[in-house]
Amino acid sequence: MQASSSTETEALAEALSRDLATFTNRLLQAGHRDLFAAIEKAGLTITQVKCLKVLCEADGALYLGAISDELGLSLPALSRAVENLVRRGHVKREEDPRDRRSKLVTVTSRGRATYEQLTALRLVGIKNFVAGLEPAEQEALAAAVGPVVRRLEP
Amino acid sequence: MQASSSTETEALAEALSRDLATFTNRLLQAGHRDLFAAIEKAGLTITQVKCLKVLCEADGALYLGAISDELGLSLPALSRAVENLVRRGHVKREEDPRDRRSKLVTVTSRGRATYEQLTALRLVGIKNFVAGLEPAEQEALAAAVGPVVRRLEP
DNA sequence: TATTGTTATACTCTATAACTATA
DNA sequence: TATAGTTATAGAGTATAACAATA
């Protein structure tokens, strides 16, 4: 295999980037409608779902301030979002015994179940997209994407 | 090469779908912040950008109703979005001479330029992601994604 | 006095309903 | 009478400012 020149490398990266932009557009459209419908049916907002995501991916309890930082939202906005999640039983909010100004937020099993249902629904959309690809295309994608995902997110 | 069994094929599709979900998450995060900052700086909302997108990808003028259908928004919401785009010179809105109840909306060169700047900015984020990949990973992705994009969107 | 979170207020975006103009 | 779009009004979500409780 020949070494590529710098300009060739750049051109490849440029073309690949454009293709990836188109590709992700397609992938996002898949099942978008169903997912939004399910979120609305669950009485949740996008912000509340993002909040659940952060909490599900965390190992334990998080402070309100930590969540608002993570999501780039104001503390009042997050406080209200959590308030709704508490009312619906998706999270619990408790005083930190070591600093009673702070509140610790934790996902409940119900909240985790809801989040996993939504994640599964998104996956359905992607699976439908994948099912529309030819076997050779699927194999090439798996061979290309798998290693990248494994390397970046272990 | 051996033919795969049905269950093997399904397992491949399942694993690939999961990887694609993770992969697109990464790709979307790249440059997300900068893009939103630029949209805000331009005095636009997400809805208005989507509106520009629809108009830029259309060949000519579109009726207000057609745009609201396309975006799944109410006519009043779209009417206000277009109103702002008109004020900022991104689109022009004219009576349809053949049915004076209807309004025809067209992107101006300024609106097109703005949309292209935003698209370019999104591409910058993706390019940064691609630049963080190894050459072999880039080549494998290009070989896998390119044909799919070409087949689905000519 | 500083910090964590909540409540008060104002603003934006959206949808439904009422309205105008044209067909 | 029906249709395309606008204006009126109300509801949800956010941010800034003011506040309460704790450190």
| Average of per-residue pLDDT values in chain B | 94
- DSSP symbols for A77-109: HHHHHHHHHHHTTSEEEEEETTEEEEEEEEE-H
| Strand D within 7 A of A97 CB | no
Q: Are B130 and A27 within 8 A, CB to CB? A: no
Which residues on B lie below 8 Å from A126 (Cβ)?
A: 17, 20-21
How far is residue B71's CA from residue B49's CA, in Å, rounded to a whole number? Answer: 11
Angle CA(A5)–CA(A8)–CA(A10) in degrees, nearest 5? 110
Of A122, A54, A36, give the one whose Cα is nearest residue A90. A54
- Residue segments in chain A with a per-residue pLDDT below the cut of 50: none
pLDDT at B1 over 60: no
B99 in contact with nucleic chain D (CB within 7 A): yes
> The pTM is what?
0.90
Q: Over 80: is that where the pLDDT of B2 sits? A: no
Which residue is it, tokens 């060169």?
Answer: B109
Structural contact between residues A64 and A82, judged by C-beta atoms closer than 8 angstroms: yes
Chain A interface test: which of B32, B145, B149 (most A C-beta within 10 Å): B145
Pairing of strands B99-107, B62-63: antiparallel
Closest residue to B17, CB basis, from A19, A127, A143: A127
pLDDT of residue B31: 82
Closest-CA residue of chain A to B28 = A24
Q: CB of residue B97 closer than 7 A to nucleic acid strand D?
A: no
pLDDT in tens, A61-100: 999 999 999 999 999 999 999 999 999 999 999 999 999 9
Q: Dump pLDDT digits (tens) for B8-22.
A: 888 899 999 999 999
For residue B149, name the pLDDT band (cuts at 50, 70, 90). Answer: very high
DSSP state of B95: E
Tell me the C-alpha distance between B148 and B133, whole Å.
Answer: 20
Burial group, residue A123, by CB count within 10 angstroms (0-12, 13-18, 19+): middle
Task: Kindly list the residues of chain A whose beta carbon comes within 8 Å of any beta carbon in chain B.
Answer: 4, 9, 12-24, 26-28, 122-123, 126-127, 129-131, 133, 135, 137-149, 151-153
Please list, in sequence order, all residues whose beta carbon lies within 8 angstroms of the beta carbon of residue A18, skipping any fewer than 6 positions away. B123
pLDDT of amino acid B3: 59
Nucleotides of chain D touched by protein CB (<7 A): 3-8, 12-17, 21-23
SS3 B2: coil
pLDDT at residue A3, rounded to an integer: 58
CA atoms within 13 A on the CB side of A46: 5
Which positions in chain A touch B19 (Cβ < 8 Å)?
142, 145-146, 149
Which nucleotide is at minimal CA–C1' distance from A93? C5
Contact A68, A74 (CB under 8 A): yes
Flag the least confident range among A109-118, B5-14, B96-105, B141-150.
B5-14
From chain B, the residues in CB contact with A9 under 8 A are 135
> Closest by alpha carbon to B25, among A90, A48, A145, A10?
A145
Proximity of residue A101 CB to strand D below 7 A:
yes
Q: Give the model's pLDDT for residue B9.
A: 86
The number of C-alpha atoms within 13 Å of A54 and in the hemisphere containing its C-beta is 21
Taking residues B28-52, what's their average pLDDT? 93
pLDDT above 70 covers a percentage of chain A that reads 97
Q: What is the pLDDT of residue A6?
A: 81
With a cut of 70, say whether residue B4 has pLDDT above it.
no
Measure the CA–CA gap between A21 and A24, rounded to whole angstroms. 5
Give the start-end residues of each E strand in B67-109.
Answer: 91-96, 99-107
Confidence of residue B153 (pLDDT cuts 50, 70, 90): confident
B64-71 vs B75-87: helix crossing angle, rounded to 10: 110
